[in-house]
Structure 1
Amino acid sequence: MDYFLQGPQWADFQRSLGRTVHEQSGPGWSFLAVEEANPAGKLLYAPYGPVAASLPAFDAALAALTELARSCGAVFVRIEPVDAGLAAPGAAGLLRGRGLQPAPVNQQPELSWIVDLDRDFKDVLADMKPVNRNLYRNIHKKGVTFRSSQDPAEISVLLEFLHMTAARNGFKPQSDEYLSQVARSLMPAGAATLFIAELDGAPIAAALAYDSADTRTYAHAALDDTHRKLSAGIPLLVTLMADAKDKGLKHVDLWGVAPEDQPDHKWAGFTAFKKSFGGRQVAYAGTWDLPVRKMRYAAYQLARRGAQAARKLLGTLRTELRARTSR
């Protein structure tokens, strides 16, 4: 699979935000790394990277990242291996042996759900739940139509629905300015497409997808709760897949899913939604840090753990205080 977050369009978008982006490559490896800042100082972050065809290529990429970090004054490098035999959880030993440490949190999902398109689309449909196939084939009878757009101005359709969903479910979506810049940077370049479901010509659902060389990534989606019973989000996603197939793409990445053994996970609901389209789970190694200025990084980790312990203690004290005052 070709990972959009390691592609040239994502580099252009990051630069449009005013960020410094580094791109390097060598025999069997490449990376896109963005300069970021955290309490430790400057870091280099390679989302779903570096890309490497083998362990020796991965080591070469890691060496290049380390040299780059030293030259630009970064305290550490943050990576998310997906290739070279380092994508599975069992690769932790190989990563630790190279001086890497698990990051405090995973930046990108550790588990994703992939639908493969390199087959007849009727076979893709056959893997879906019957209700998904039936909605895709018959929702037009209820006056619902679908269209795609690469006009950045139409991102307002998705933003409106995201505001509705956020108010209903109590989550914080990415800012309007961020997604508007995504649209301005990526949609005219053909790297992002907005799919819109309409009822009698009025939008009722929208989804934004990113395209790499062989993969479409399902990035953001929301719908108008007024028409929730139509379940337009389901045939909208199937339309997105069919369009990807028509464009010659080989995979649709439905993005993060919850672990199977965690039914109460906050992602459990949309994990069930994603799995209803057929497909397979992919496990990545997660997010890892490679300290470059080791003493500075160690001090950062110590301070972070101290702050975590203090927050935990404060939470315990507050719980005890509430318990006492309620008696």
Structure 2
Amino acid sequence: MAFRVRVITASEHAAFNATQPAVSFLQTPAWASVKSEWGSQSLGWFDDRGRLVGAGLVLYRRLPGFRTSLAYLPEGPVIDWVSDDLAGWLDPLVDHLKRSGAFAVRIGTTTAACTWSAETVKSAIADPEITRLSDVPPDSVDDTADRVRTQLRDLGWRPPKEEEGFSAGQPRWVFQVPLAGKDEDQLLKGMNQLWRRNIKKAGKAGVTVTQGSVEDLPGFYRLYLETAKRDHFVLRPFSYFPAMFEALLAEDKDRIRLYLAHHEGDLVAATVWIRVGGHAWYSYGASATAKREVRGSNAVQWKMMTDALAAGCTVYNLRGITDTVDKNSPHLGLIQFKVGTGGEAVEYLGEWDLPLNRLLYKAFDVYMSRRG
């Protein structure tokens, strides 16, 4: 089937997303307001009967000194990725973006390729001979992923190389907790003994978890600064967070939440929770160095998971991990913390690039890498 791709309104885009079981929050029209340093368009795919059957948020980043841009669809577009004719979906997109002056296109398919259970991940961590999870046979493999991968390669798309790219990408490896068909007891029983003990310990210590508001973001940011200094990650400016809350709440009054864990009046942990349809994300987190023993981080995660369950979500996504299980890697602690939830590590097909002007594509890559 031949599809037409054209610009649609934000309301048309939001209405289409509402018909889907789940859509990445990065593919909501509201996200364009969060990424205000990029240009943006909402695009729609129309079939031969004029029906809107796909949608995508495109972000445009201008190459300095040129009248041309990278066209980026983070974790999108929302199309039929299991189709045997991806060319029918992607070629009209590329044609539109060429006319819009793009020198390259980056898409982010959310097709899951492989899944490793918590038990498999723990066994890999315990094995001194294994340094990467990708060296371990997965518990499940999606045959659809191979078909998608083959089609993308045949169409000239290519995945960014490991540790390279525009420094604008989304994680290919994530850790998530399946929620479908579970109740709270089953969710708790699926966690490891340490997580269950820490959740119980937080309750006994008197940790309380509540939902905050935009007015509480300064408190969250103070913890965020403390966490960044301790864990050595790159900070976002404070202004990013009020802008994100304003944009996402304008689209849906329950799209984003701020959770606050207090102990005897002290803020000990704070997190940001985002939900679209049946998918909930742990988006940002921060914790105090003091009072680590009261386990506020475990308490706030448990509250977000149970709230996602109560909201009818089928997946709670703890976002990015790396595939390292190397005992000497600084990233090992992250996967160890997340694996305690009893969820699963998932490798997605991730992001794929289509250079339309190879010279400018390379120049932009160099420019972004120098920006850090």
Deviation string for 1:111-162 (max 9, x for gaps)? Answer: 111101111221111110122223323423212111012x212111221111
Residues 122 and 79 of structure 1: is their aligned pair in 2 closer, same or farther, counting only changes over 3 Å?
same
Alignment equivalent of 2:233, drawn from 147, 166, 171: 171
Q: Please list, as runs of the form range in 1=range in 2, the aligned pairs for 1:184-199 lying within 5 A after superposition.
A: 184-187=246-249, 189-199=253-263
Whether the 8 Å CA contact 2:104–2:361 is kept in 1: the answer is: no
Give yes or no for contact 2:274–2:280 (8 Å, CA) kept in 1: yes
Query: Which residue number corresponds to residue 124 of structure 2?
Result: none
Say whether residues 1:37 and 2:62 are aligned partners: yes
How far apart, in 2, do the equivalents of 1:211 and 1:10 lie?
A: 13
Letter of the 1:42 counterpart: S
Question: Greater CA deviation, 42-51 or 89-98?
Answer: 89-98
- TM-score if structure 1 supplies the norm length? 0.82
Count, aligned residues: 304
Residue 12 (structure 1) shift: 4.7
What secondary structure does 1:20 align onto?
Answer: strand
Which residue is equivalent to 2:94?
66
Q: Mark the CA change 1:298 to 1:265 in structure 2 (over 3 Å): closer, same or farther.
A: farther
Against the structure 1 CA distance between its residues 90 and 55, is the aligned structure 2 distance closer, same or farther, given a 3 Å change threshold? closer
| More off after superposition, 235-244 vs 67-76 | 67-76
What runs of 5+ residues in structure 2 fail to find an aligned partner?
1-21, 48-52, 113-141
- Quick check: 47-56 or 261-270, which moved more? 261-270
Q: Deviations over 1:303-323 (max 9, x none)?
A: 968999xx9xxxxxxxxxxxx
Moved more, 220-229 or 298-307: 298-307
- Specify the code of the residue in structure 2 equivalent to 1:23: L
Q: CA RMSD in A?
A: 2.9
Matched residue of 1:176: which SS? coil
Q: Matches of 1:9 and 1:144 in 2, distance apart? A: 34
How far 1:91 moved relative to its partner? 4.8
Once the two structures are TM-superposed, the CA of residue 45 in structure 1 deviates from its matched residue by 0.5
Give the partner amino acid of 2:111. Answer: D
The separation in 1 between residues aligned to 2:349 and 2:85, in whole angstroms, is 17
Q: Distance in 1 between matches of 2:221 and 2:368?
A: 35
TM-score (norm 2): 0.73
Q: Where in structure 1 are there 5+ consecutive unaligned residues?
A: 312-327
Query: Aligned partners of 1:279, 1:262: CA distance in 2, in Å?
Result: 20
**SS of 1:146's equivalent?**
strand
Q: Distance in 1 between matches of 2:202 and 2:360?
A: 58
Contact 2:40 2:60 in 1 (8 A): yes
Q: CA deviation at 1:254?
A: 0.5
SS at match of 1:185: helix
1:80-95 → structure 2 map (5 Å cutoff): 80-83=108-111, 88=145, 91-95=148-152
1:257-278 Cα offsets, whole Å, 9 max, x none, are 1214544444321111111101
Give the structure with the larger helix fraction. Answer: 1
Of residues 121, 124, 137, the one that matches 2:200 is 137
Which residue among 298, 302, 307 is the counterpart of 1:234? 298
Deviation at 1:64, TM superposition (A): 2.8
Percent of pairs identical after alignment? 24
